[in-house]
Structures are given as C-alpha cells and as structure tokens.
Amino acid sequence: MSSQEIILAQEQSVLSKSGLGKEIQGTLVLTNKRLLFVSATTEDAPAIGLNAVSYYSDVEDLDSVGQNPSNISIPLGSILVTKGHAGLMTNPNLKVKYEDGSSEKNAEFIQTITGGRKKNLNDWSKIIEDLQNGKVKIKIPSWLPDKNSLEGRIIDTLADLQEKGIFEIEKEIETRFKIDLDPDQVETACNSLVSKGILEKKAEDFYRLPSPLGIDDLSS
C-alpha cells in the first residue's frame, strides 16, 4: 500500500449518526488509510426532476480538511467491524465499529441520494475489509503532470472523483488559482489526459478521474 494518502471513493450528502442521537450531513471519503466524514459546508438545490437537497463538503485536498469537531477520521487499522445494508425500505448504509483510544465506538453513515449506480455505500464494507486484508490492489498512475501545469490543475480539480463538465472544470480552476482560461484550452488538456489513460470521458464534454480501486460508479 502506498505511503501517500489517496482518495479511493467519495459519497456526498451522507447522514452521519453517532451517539446521543446526533445526526449530521456531509461527505464520506474512503482513502487507502482511513474513513473520513467531513461535515457539510455547501447546500445544493435539487436538480430538475429530483426532490433531494444535497449537503456536502468538497474534499479535493485532504490536507485542507478543517478540524471541525463534527468531522470523523477513522484509521482503517482501527476498524473492528463493518456492515453494509440496503433494502427496499431502507437507504444504503454503512455501520462501523472502531477503536478510539482505549474505548470502542460505533458510527453509522446513510446514503441519502440513490439511483443510477452499480455500487452504493453498503458496498464499502467489503472494500474496507479487502483494504485491511491487502486483497485490493490500488491503481496509481505511473505518470502525472506537474501540479502547476493546466493538466495538473485539472487532475487536482477532479480529485474528488466527481464527474464534471468543461465549463465547471474551467470555473473551478479559475476561482482556485486566480487565472483566466479558454474552454477550448481546457477541453484540449482534458482530452490529452484521456489519451494518456488518466481521465475518463463519461459523455460529451464531461470527465472524471477514475477511482484507484478500479470499481465503476462507486462515487457520486
């Protein structure tokens, strides 16, 4: 397993339930080292035809995650038991029992937005077990562009494993790095990364950085 911490999967608008009936929404992230819940900082209105509001935090740079007391960071080595469940009347969920110092704690994470995918939050249980047992081989690209190049900044923008269009990628890079870009310039760079096997082109002008787990539709 690489010494570098890598985002493997990410689920937005997750409901975290812990002791004393506490419920918080945010983003659940699985890395090669830990399970990380980051409390929501953003609220998105539902898309046309949907009635669910999305609550999440953009997690692109793990080093930038704040020290909010509502956040939960669970090292994979501390996890004792994981259980995933999905049913006709219940949303996909992941229950975790883990060691925290000298005590044991329980956490439950519920997927609030469903549909259109092969994998859901309940599937994370088996993946966590396989990571702990060393059964999963993480796919890390043998080459990545310089972080200060346009291609490097595109990868940084897509590090949350979300599918994004050309204009969304352009806007995020311009906002974060205080530069002006041309959409054609961004599209050319994205297609170059696709040709090198680093990005996936999901639809016309939409791209995604594939999960290092190599599992389709694990992130939303």
pLDDT tens by residue, 105-133: 999 999 988 776 778 899 999 999 999 99
Give domain limits for the chain.
7-133, 150-208
Q: Are strands 34-39 and 23-31 parallel, antiparallel or unpaired?
A: antiparallel
pLDDT at 53: 57
Residue 1 pLDDT grade (very low, low, confident, very high; cuts 50, 70, 90):
very low
pLDDT(61) > 50: yes
Confidence bin at 44 (pLDDT 50/70/90) = low
Domains 7-133 and 150-208 share a fold: no
Does domain 150-208 fall under CATH 1.10.10.10? My reply is: yes
Taking 80 as the threshold, does the pLDDT of residue 43 lie above it?
A: no
Which fold would CATH assign to domain 7-133? PH-domain like (2.30.29)
The average pLDDT across 8-17 equals 89
Q: Residue 195's pLDDT is what?
A: 95
* Cβ-based burial of 105 (10 A; exposed 0-12, middle 13-18, buried ≥19): middle
